[in-house]
Amino acid sequence: MASGSDRNPIIIGGLPSQVPDFDPEETQEWLDSLDAAVDERGRERARYLMLRLIERAREKRVAVPEMRSTDYVNTIATKDEPFFPGNEEIERKVLNATRWNAAVMVSRAQRPGIGVGGHIATFASSASLYDVGFNHFFRGKDEGDGGDQIFFQGHASPGVYARAFLLDRLTEAQLDAFRQEKSKAPNGLSSYPHPRLMPDFWEFPTVSMGLGPLGAIYQARMNRYMEARGIADTSKSHVWAYLGDGEMDEPESLGQLSIAAREGLDNLTFVVNCNLQRLDGPVRGNGKIMQELESQFRGAGWNVIKLVWDRSWDPLLAQDRDGILVNKLNSTPDGQFQTYATETGAYIREHFFGDDQRLRAMVANMTDDQILHLGRGGHDHKKIYAAYAAAKAHKGQPTVILAQTVKGWTLGPNFEGRNATHQMKKLTVEDLKGFRDRLHLPIPDKDLEDGLPPYYHPGRNSEEIQYMHDRRKSLGGYVPTRVVRAKPLELPGDKAYATAKKGSGQQKIATTMAFVRILKDLMRDKEIGKRFVPIAPDEYRTFGMDAFFPSAKIYNPLGQTYESVDRELLLAYKESPTGQMLHDGITEAGCTASLIAAGSAYATHGEPLIPVYVFYSMFGFQRTGDQFWQMADQLARGFVLGATAGRTTLTGEGLQHADGHSQLLASTNPACVAYDPAYGYEIAHIVRDGLRRMYGENSEDVFYYLTVYNEPIQHPAEPADVDVEGILKGLHRVKAGEKGEHTAQILASGVAVPWAVEAQQILADEWNVKADVWSATSWNELRREAVAVEEHNLLHPEEEQRVPYVTQKLQGAEGPKVAVSDWMRSVPDQIARWVPGTYQSLGADGFGFADTRGAARRFFHIDAQSIVLGVLTELAKEGKVDRSLLKQAIDRYQLLDVTAADAGEAGGDA
């Protein structure tokens, strides 16, 4: 690995605008030499000399300004290409069989009565890029480590399946079950890379475009983190991300390039398949996407390797003494290159070479067919090998390989380079015959004319298949493969949770701080303490976690090369190459990518990590919800903390910080176990059970989401008869009513539980109502269990009908039920159909705003006095109290006047 100074220069280069000229005469000599080169040999020759000088300056480690783009030719010169160690003829046969099977699999999936579709053009363009990786670079897991981590481009999945079929990893029945996961179970194959759907095969979900590149960057960083902390030896692991040039339009694709360069992640290679097309048209018809991407990656500090032309261009470029061919390549837009991909050799001769006598002379001795087959670099195994080898050898920077290809390559004139190629899923008989002939496969016409086109396998004992097995054996096993080697963790006992169960005494603390105290005790545990990975987006101090800085420290591979401004403070900011805390800056997307990489380390590297991602609640499921689905799909585990939760607890910040809906969004994710606890002892039981479910025996592929608040409250000690089952299942009674003629039940969650307790007292003292207060720790889990019960009853009518937990819990609870939370009504409304008796919910529907907590709660009618009105209203509906009491309550508490409300507790970030 390159040293820190090599990997992270503060200034890469610049023009000498402020540097005095100590030898003007020497300077003038150099300028005169340049003038002479221009005058005598022309601008192109002078340009060439300047570029060679820059190249030599870099070899001599002279700082010169970076060029943001280079000529539209291969970065690696022909003379610099390494020896190709493979058997190109055998690899061509292997690739041809793979191409055929991938296309046939998708075509057969379009058969009558099925019609589930698929995509064939993306793999057709990138097949060689994958094949060289499979044969020479991708490391498997057979050596006991994590091997390489490969983020396959989602739309290329048919090609990966087709190769696995040749290796006997998949059967013909499985190929025929592509996109039929239930109807053809257990043979069904998922449409795209989905670890949750194929947990022994795929490792990384990538088809939500833009998340693959983001995930790959943070996976490479997580590899370095794990090695730096002595958790796993990841020194041999390399991360490969296969992307599309159209995919790079997604902001997530390019949004985090800087961290990869800043931390010198030379264990990371992006391979961008530049087939110049999006789904429906050119990526940059009037421009040049490879040049654009080169500028962006170079500007971000990446090593860029362009793979533009195949070997057939080498003789032409060798003749280009005047640079006229390079100039033509530089100035031709992508849209025109796509047209050349669909036209004849005669057309290319006339329109590309025909407008300059020197260009025409270059191809004068070439036939139209030879001109037609002037190919692109992404289809040339030797050129690809050279690019991959250079990427692996490069130190101090991540590398991107920009490989030009043709979308639909080899599929025939109806597919190649066509704008509609991405949506074309079925080959006609004539397409199949032409495709077969181009691939030189021994498939007779009759097999293509009658019924479904056949798969092709050269035979298990053929030299092609033996070659494939030998290559994978030498590289450590088959890929993609997902293996779970991690053993259950020895989890801490009661002692780690004792402090939280004692309550906060007379001190008021927020539930965020209650959680942080539990986490601090867990991180001291000798068995699992080192496995916790705290993650926050530049908000550790906000969440009261700056106390972790002195001991856990912040991970930075460069350490801390400066004196911290707060170095004399007890809780000074402290960075370390072995730091435990990930301080990812103001990027929720980056933090979530770290969360996913850490949360799946148990499978990727066989070493479980316990990520704890803490963030402003509003910026979780709303901002990065797509990544939480990615987390679920990758079977990642860990704790997600939506701090500053609720619509009225961070009201000073206003609308865009007022989260009243994340619990509802969380309910849509099947892998998310969501809680809204009120007290520290509840959090203790939830965290303990979460560790058991995710990291203990018979571990589950779930992650825990806890919403915690920044409003200080007094936390009671755990009662002697604590209902642990109720806490974990979502509902337990925290305070029984003591006096009153009429009865009611108040269900509250999170920060609303203290309002409910206050309302309970008012109802008893002023309205003769005895109300029990229940803490609904998880509306979501209550609903999930009830839905499961209903489904069982639906399908088993002959059996005794089961009763949902929430129904059982409230069956004997007398009086109407009123639910309240700092969330929109839809959150507690999730359980309405299973609550016996009458049920009303109060909630913070609508937009948030900036004001005091008291004013906001009065506005939304969820404060204690509004809860009182809600209970009285339901009692009036049942005829238990006179309706005139309702107007009395409204007037007594001035419920229509937000200024009449007590301002409530002020401040309290954590």
CB 89 within 8 A of CB 320: no
Is residue 268 within a helix (H) or strand (E), and if so which, with residue range?
strand 268-274
Q: According to the model, what pLDDT value does residue 483 have? A: 95
Q: How far apart are CA 807 and CA 543, in angstroms?
A: 37
Q: Detail the DSSP E strand segments found in 455-563.
A: 508-509, 532-536, 554-555
823-845 tens-digit pLDDT:
999 999 999 999 999 999 999 99
Question: Which residue, among 682, 649, 877, has the nearest Cα to 781 in the 3D structure?
Answer: 682
CB 795 within 8 A of CB 802: no
Q: According to the model, what pLDDT value does residue 450 have? A: 85
Cβ-based neighbours of 37, under 8 Å, separated by 6 or more? 45, 46, 49
DSSP string computed for 108-176? HTTSTTT------HHHHHHHHHHHHHHHHT---STTSS---EEE--GGGHHHHHHHHHHTTSS-HHHHT
* Dihedral over alpha carbons 668, 672, 673, 676 (to 10 degrees): -70
Q: How far apart are CA 712 and CA 747, in angstroms?
A: 21
Q: What is the mean pLDDT of residues 94-115?
A: 93
Q: According to the model, what pLDDT value does residue 5 have? A: 39
The model's confidence at residue 48, banded by pLDDT at 50, 70 and 90, is confident
Asked if the bond preceding 205 is cis, omega within 30° of 0, the reply is: no
Q: How far apart are CA 856 and CA 836, in angstroms?
A: 31
Q: What percent of the chain has pLDDT over 90?
A: 83
Q: Global pTM?
A: 0.93
Question: Which residue, among 819, 784, 820, 818, has the nearest Cα to 804 in the 3D structure?
Answer: 784
Q: According to the model, what pLDDT value does residue 905 have? A: 78
Where b means 16+ CB within 10 Å and e means fewer, 46-57 reads: bbbeeeeeeeee
740-759 tens-digit pLDDT:
999 999 999 999 999 999 99
Q: What is the mean pLDDT of residues 535-541?
A: 91
Q: According to the model, what pLDDT value does residue 451 have? A: 87
Q: How far apart are the first and last CA of the chain?
A: 40
* CA dihedral (105, 111, 117, 123) positive or negative: positive
Q: According to the model, what pLDDT value does residue 10 have? A: 45
Q: According to the model, what pLDDT value does residue 321 have? A: 85
Q: What is the mean pLDDT of residues 692-705?
A: 97
Reply yes or no on whether the pLDDT at 403 is more than 70: yes
778-834 tens-digit pLDDT:
999 999 999 999 999 999 999 999 999 999 999 999 999 999 999 999 999 999 999
Write a three-state SS string for 645-687. Answer: CECCCCHHHCHHHCECCHHHHHCCCCCEEEECCCCHHHHHHHH
How far does CA 304 lie from the centroid of its chain? 23
Residue type, 733: R
CB 344 within 8 A of CB 372: yes
Q: What is the mean pLDDT of residues 720-743?
A: 97
Q: How far apart are CA 16 and CA 617, in angstroms?
A: 48
Where b means 16+ CB within 10 Å and e means fewer, 785-812 reads: bbeebeeeeeeeeeeeebebbbbebbee
Q: According to the model, what pLDDT value does residue 568 have? A: 79
CB 147 within 8 A of CB 483: no
Reduce the DSSP state of residue 634 to 3 states and report it. Answer: coil
Q: What percent of the chain has pLDDT over 70?
A: 96
740: number of Cβ within 10 Å: 17
Q: How far apart are CA 24 and CA 30, in angstroms?
A: 10
Reduce the DSSP state of residue 614 to 3 states and report it. Answer: strand
Q: What is the mean pLDDT of residues 663-691?
A: 98
CB 234 within 8 A of CB 219: no
Reduce the DSSP state of residue 274 to 3 states and report it. Answer: strand
How far does CA 43 lie from the centroid of its chain? 47
Question: Which residue, among 264, 281, 283, 265, has the nearest Cα to 273 in the 3D structure?
Answer: 283
Q: According to the model, what pLDDT value does residue 417 have? A: 61
- With tokens 């055998």, the residue in question is 90
Phi, psi of 113 (to 5 degrees): 90, -10
Q: How far apart are CA 416 and CA 582, in angstroms?
A: 46
- What residues pair up with 555 in beta bridges, in sequence order? 576
DSSP string computed for 223-258? HHHHHHTTS---TT--EEEEEETTGGGSHHHHTTHH
435-488 tens-digit pLDDT:
899 999 999 999 999 889 999 999 999 999 999 999 999 999 999 999 999 999
Q: According to the model, what pLDDT value does residue 278 have? A: 84
Residue type, 487: K
Reduce the DSSP state of residue 819 to 3 states and report it. Answer: strand
Reply yes or no on whether the pLDDT at 280 is more than 80: no
CB 817 within 8 A of CB 621: no
